[in-house]
Amino acid sequence: MLTQAPKGTHDILADEIDKWLYVENKFAEICRRFGYREIRLPVFEHTELFQRGVGETTDIVQKEMYTFEDKGGRSLTLRPEGTAGVVRSYIENGMSSWPQPTKLFYNITAYRYEKMQKGRYREFHQLGIELFGAKDPSADAEVISLMVLFFDSLGIKNLTLNLNSIGCTQCRGAYNRMLKDFLADKTDQMCENCRERINRNPMRILDCKTEGCRQYLREAPALLDHVCDDCRDHFEKVTQKLQDIGIHYEIDKGIVRGLDYYNGTVFEFVSRNIGTQGTVCGGGRYDGLIELCGGPPTPGIGFALGVERLLLEMESQGIEIPSQPDPEIYLGSIGERAEKLCEKLAWDLRSKGITCIKDIMGRSVKAQMKYADKLGARYALIIGDNEVESNKASLKDMKTGESRDISLDTLIDRLIKKREND
């Protein structure tokens, strides 16, 4: 066990990290284009925040959270998602006094004890945004359009945008009663969780993944067909705005999302390439969450996406991600005097922004050249006593195999010029 990562976690190795950085940097770039600013959050929060914010009857709170007691007897939980922590920060730091709306984005790890499958881990990575203070349908359209532009920037195609509205508190109150009546003669055949939820929060039954329960729900009334006039008007305006900017969508009356804080517009971007649960990104409105957590009444909307699943989708579509450039030069030395000169030269090269790998193993000349080739270095230069005396050395082009004698004083300028010409 000592030499194995815990089940549900994984290492991101050096040959994969370029992909992650590429995606993360693209996301940050798109977010800033829309006026969002980055926020960084604690990995753990008070357990009550998630109980209240995410919802006591959700699978996340009931089954999946990593909760522990600290030495002060406080119940803390590793964050299972990002929104609740951002909401807590919004309240604690008085962001309601900032110019509104408040636009934030994040790049976090999150933790859920759930069944593992391809692209799903117990420690996973999320990118997300939160927009506070704007109730207008334009906010819904902006959040969705940001996600569309992000996917476009990565070259991802053929994702389906599914939309739904789950109404306001009043809508859901009436709908819950309707759903409860519909399921009244079926609950005995449903799973234990659903039998418990029928009285506490009937809508959570719609999120059950048990096939036995799902078969009873196929004929259940759809909430979208029973929302109030205000909610219907809001949703129609959202869909019209998406049409106006050319974003295609499909109405999916079955979307409820797996967290209790959602209301109104909810959405998912779904792929058919990455397994049965093909949701790459999901989000929606949560106009009552900030008030529920102790803040002023404030509308909110956001989304989160799993980086692991995003990379899996890019792989399935054959999207090539640019890798980090190979080292520009490898420096080796033979002898103490040459080593001293090499140290100074490496410092000067790196100070000028040139990627330089220097021998620190005391290898032979042959071994150093072999290593330079494995690294993919564009040039290699080995310094010995003769080179120290003459201040000249042979610069080898590792791609062509050609060598050229140069003055060490001109090395930096030569490399900068070659970089510009390449």
Q: Within a domain: residue 401? A: yes
Averaged over 180-200, what is the pLDDT? Answer: 81
List phi, psi (to 5°) of 160. Answer: -100, 125
**132 has a pLDDT exceeding 80:** yes
- Using DSSP's 3-state secondary structure scheme, residue 331 falls into strand
Tokens 């334009």 correspond to: 138
Do residue 107 and residue 21 come from a single domain?
Answer: yes
Question: How many CB atoms sit inside 10 A of residue 373's CB?
Answer: 12
3-state secondary structure of 140: helix
- Which residues is 406 bridged to in the sheet? 393
| Pair (45, 150) in one structural domain | yes
pLDDT class of 252 with cuts at 50, 70, 90: very high
pLDDT score of 230: 95
The arithmetic mean of pLDDT across residues 209-225, rounded, is 82
Model pLDDT, residue 196? 79
**Which phi and psi angles does 250 have, rounded to 5°?**
-130, 145
Strand order in the sheet with 75-78: 44-46, 75-78, 66-69
Predicted pLDDT of residue 277: 62
Q: Please give the residue that has the higher pLDDT: either 198 or 395.
A: 395
| Stronger pLDDT, 144 or 223, i.e. the higher one | 144
369, pLDDT greater than 90: yes
Instruction: Point out the domain boundary residue: 284, 316, 348.
Output: 316
CATH at 31 = 3.30.930.10
Domain extent, residue 342, equals 329-421
Which burial class, exposed, middle or buried, applies to 36 when counting CB atoms under 10 A from its CB (0-12, 13-18, 19+)? buried
Q: What is the pLDDT of residue 276?
A: 55
pTM: 0.90
As a whole number of Å, the end-to-end CA separation of the chain is 49
Q: Are 222 and 208 in contact (CB under 8 A)?
A: no
Q: Dihedral through CA 342, CA 348, CA 351, CA 353, nearest 10? A: -80
Q: What is the pLDDT of residue 275?
A: 58
> What letter would DSSP give residue 64?
I
Q: How far is it between the farthest Cα atoms of the chain? A: 95
Alpha carbon 11 to chain centroid distance? 16
DSSP string, 11-44: ---HHHHHHHHHHHHHHHHHHHHTT-EE----SE
**Count of domains observed in the chain:** 2
Q: Is 3 buried (19+), middle (13-18) or exposed (0-12) by CB count in 10 A?
A: exposed
pLDDT of residue 154 exceeding 90: yes
* Final residue before a domain boundary, out of 253, 283, 316: 316
In this structure, are 311 and 333 located in the same domain?
A: no
Q: In DSSP terms, which residues pair with 107 in a beta bridge? A: 127
The answer to whether position 125 is within a domain reads yes
Question: Mean pLDDT score of the chain, rounded to an integer?
Answer: 92
Domain match, 312 and 353 both = no
CB atoms within 10 A of CB 279: 18
Residue 368, domain CATH: 3.40.50.800
3-state secondary structure of 230: helix
Which runs of E-coded beta strand occur in 286-360? 300-306, 329-333, 356-358
What is the pLDDT confidence band of residue 193, given thresholds at 50, 70 and 90? confident
pLDDT band at 88 (very low <50, low <70, confident <90, very high): very high
**Least reliable range by pLDDT among 258-262, 269-273, 353-357, 398-402:** 258-262
CA distance 65 to 77: 7
Q: Which pLDDT tens digit goes with each residue over 276-316? A: 568 899 999 999 999 999 999 999 999 999 999 999 999 99
407 and 301 housed in the same domain: no
